[in-house]
Structure 1
């Protein structure tokens, strides 16, 4: 039966109807997602409205498993006939897929009893913000940036809101769902003209509007960062210490997380594939995942296979404790899932992370700059050449050159290179990590890398 759009349980009905249709079409097992989302985005420029967008709708996704094969399909049409056709198409696709004996849903005994997100506080109750309010926030942020002497224009100022609900159902008996909300505000400011033009940004996103900085703070920070980049030039070439500012340091830890992802390990495509139980970070440094942090945008009560999420240490006292696994990769490696499965509407589950926290240091960012003596502070990055199998690392970077322990001038158009295995073992963490991030990582000093500049 087609779900009534006024029914508060319509997502549950849709997901369970998809599973039933898949079984009827011949699937051995099936799981389904139903997602209801709405979003508003307001862009302003030069004191006026530049663009307003609103989207809303329901989308559904189905994964079927039969004979050790699987296939996934999705649709925005959720009528009875469309659901039946989706199920038939998915089963037909699965029968042509390669066999993988490690595929399969969780045993019912593995499923969490928790079927909602109560206690996580990841959805703000109440009415969505009025578009006029979002426009006012964006205009205030733009005005704050433009009020700084030296800012020639604001390229973009954006305020947005999103509300998303999901429901997961499976033929093993699991059925559960939850909602999450997001508020975001950002500004991109420009200084100079022509070849001397420089830009930078500031932005924040949170579950609750009350947790956002004020528009004036966002605008002022975007202007401050942009003005600091005026007159940027290339750094010298050589081997130097590099400080990854907290704006980009999470990307460095992200490469470590990719290397401990069970999918990469099972393929033999991880530079850490032989290092389980070995030191991968300096002593005293932990890397923890906690999907149950209240009020955090990435929190979730269960994973995409219905397993109960929980806090765990990926690295403890510098030593790698385990891989990040979903059911299939766990079976390939002879290990239990870490309840890390994530998936899209038209994709199978795969291991993922949520709410990663790196142990902070005891010194400030400025202390680490002073400790560097001569080197580079990286505040933005572009492009990437990272070999997942060897850990060889090369990226374009911009930031600030340091001389005698102090920032000397802004830097652009340079490349930094090294090997992740060696880089991570020299890390020194600052004490400046910010909350609400999916990866809560402070500024990180790397002992030495190659800088290719002038």
Structure 2
């Protein structure tokens, strides 16, 4: 006999308490997906996946342990509870573990409009993939395709704990993307374009996606090396979110508690240029990473991470908050069968005055980074370097494609002078426009 997700959570909590658990939490995650891929006008694959998993964490004193299973039978759930309780009794002590206090818990699980009732269709997904590939191949200079794919996904989360919390939310996703190959004089270049959305009717037009992928590949033809220099660098909106990702990792409570963050002494100080604002909004309707509660059932709310360039908060779950003598900020990441991690929701670097062309004009002469590879980053100092490909511009205009380049700097220095554009691209958990850094070291030929 198998049972529903919320019933599985209740069964595990009840069984764990009966076996000696002082506290416990459990989470179920159910996922479905359908994907179609094509290449050169022919169907290559159709894949459908369905999975369900349930995890239990047990706390006895200052000891904790967890495990998960994909078997929802009553016997398997009872066996999981018995195994995890035994593991917790034998575990080493963790002075910071424990569930949140009841007053920290979310009171209402609001509907964040993340679910699309449109049923997925193999025929529709295949059609979109074929249309986008055909549009790419129609671009002058594009000679081949590395494949085009369309997909649909749906997920549901149920989380409950012995402190009385029980909540759930669900969401859907749609995606379309392809990689195009351009060729000239025996030189080949590849680039891609994609889009994703919670709702099918918000997905970008398939022809547009194909045309963009093809045009980007053609633009990279004839790439040469660049002389080493110091110059302005613009990180295009497709790669710029990674710079903000380093910032988010640096303000994680776990990093601060371990003392392994280049921002560990920067709370309340000017980190970014004056006027820069970075927000985190878990309640964004239809947001890519929206959720009505965090991975421990705590209340979540929109908040500023950076305001006027000044660092406002760490990202804290209950454990890191206890370690730092603070309160959880509602940034616990769900980890079924394990201790919660730390994560953000819908992060946004607020826009500046210029689009990408405007940033190029502002910089005058420099490098537009369109692809990054294998970054090197020192979490303690903020030193950063990365291999890139891009486009060299002069007087604000693209002059030629370049490759085999490394750009380097220190993130503290880069953040202090960062200039955001207003050209947002796609939908993701980090919404970020192109970013201009007025001066960076560029290592080339």
Distance 2:83 2:372 in 1: 43
Further displaced range: 12-21 or 318-327: 12-21
Relative distance call for 1:243 and 1:67 in structure 2 (3 A) is same
The 8 Å contact of residues 206 and 296 in structure 1, kept in 2 or not, is answered as no
Alignment RMSD (CA, Å)? 1.4
CA displacement at 1:193 relative to structure 2: 7.2
Task: Indicate yes or no: 2:326 matched with 1:339.
Answer: no
Distance 1:95 1:389 in 2: 36
Relative distance call for 1:309 and 1:195 in structure 2 (3 A) is farther
Q: Which residue of 2 aligns with 1:75?
A: 69
Task: Indicate yes or no: 2:51 matched with 1:36.
Answer: no
Provide the aligned length of Structure 1 versus Structure 2: 445
Distance 1:252 1:104 in 2: 33
Q: Which residue of 1 aligns with 2:288?
A: 297
Q: Which residue of 2 aligns with 1:7?
A: none
Q: Deviations over 1:294-322 (max 9, x none)?
A: 11121111101111211000111100011
Q: Which residue of 1 aligns with 2:379?
A: 388
The 8 Å contact of residues 100 and 296 in structure 2, kept in 1 or not, is answered as yes
Task: Indicate yes or no: 2:262 matched with 1:275.
Answer: no
Q: Deviations over 1:333-379 (max 9, x none)?
A: 11111111112334321221111111211122112112222221101
Residue 83 of structure 1 aligns to a residue whose secondary structure is: helix
Distance 2:66 2:443 in 1: 45
The 8 Å contact of residues 62 and 72 in structure 1, kept in 2 or not, is answered as yes
Residue 269 of structure 1 aligns to a residue whose secondary structure is: coil
Distance 2:137 2:186 in 1: 21
The 8 Å contact of residues 184 and 204 in structure 1, kept in 2 or not, is answered as yes
The 8 Å contact of residues 3 and 13 in structure 1, kept in 2 or not, is answered as no
Q: TM-score, normalised on structure 1?
A: 0.95
- 1:284 pairs, out of 275, 289, 313, with 275
The 8 Å contact of residues 56 and 68 in structure 2, kept in 1 or not, is answered as yes
Relative distance call for 1:194 and 1:87 in structure 2 (3 A) is farther
The 8 Å contact of residues 183 and 218 in structure 2, kept in 1 or not, is answered as no
Relative distance call for 1:67 and 1:195 in structure 2 (3 A) is farther
Q: Which residue of 1 aligns with 2:120?
A: 129
Distance 1:199 1:392 in 2: 30
Distance 1:136 1:384 in 2: 37
Relative distance call for 1:93 and 1:412 in structure 2 (3 A) is farther
Unaligned ranges ≥5, structure 1: 5-9
Task: Indicate yes or no: 2:234 matched with 1:234.
Answer: no
Distance 2:190 2:427 in 1: 25
Residue 369 of structure 2 aligns to a residue whose secondary structure is: strand
Task: Indicate yes or no: 2:7 matched with 1:16.
Answer: no
Q: Deviations over 1:8-40 (max 9, x none)?
A: xx1110111121222223222111111121100
Residue 15 of structure 2 aligns to a residue whose secondary structure is: helix
Q: Deviations over 1:401-422 (max 9, x none)?
A: 1223321111211111110000
Q: TM-score, normalised on structure 2?
A: 0.97
Distance 1:442 1:125 in 2: 31
Unaligned ranges ≥5, structure 2: none
Distance 1:75 1:283 in 2: 49
Q: Which residue of 2 aligns with 1:319?
A: 310
CA displacement at 1:194 relative to structure 2: 9.6
Q: Deviations over 1:25-83 (max 9, x none)?
A: 32221111111211001000111111110001321111111221222211111111211
CA displacement at 1:3 relative to structure 2: 4.0
Q: Which residue of 1 aligns with 2:89?
A: 95
The 8 Å contact of residues 40 and 147 in structure 2, kept in 1 or not, is answered as no
The 8 Å contact of residues 397 and 412 in structure 1, kept in 2 or not, is answered as yes
Distance 2:172 2:198 in 1: 5
CA displacement at 1:435 relative to structure 2: 5.8
Task: Indicate yes or no: 2:242 matched with 1:251.
Answer: yes
The 8 Å contact of residues 238 and 425 in structure 2, kept in 1 or not, is answered as no
Q: Deviations over 1:247-301 (max 9, x none)?
A: 1111111111111111100100010000101001111111110111111121111
Distance 2:53 2:330 in 1: 24
Further displaced range: 88-97 or 404-413: 88-97
Relative distance call for 1:235 and 1:13 in structure 2 (3 A) is same
Distance 1:93 1:153 in 2: 55
Q: Which residue of 1 aligns with 2:149?
A: 158
Residue 95 of structure 1 aligns to a residue whose secondary structure is: helix
Q: Which residue of 1 aligns with 2:55?
A: 61
The 8 Å contact of residues 294 and 334 in structure 2, kept in 1 or not, is answered as no
Distance 1:374 1:236 in 2: 14
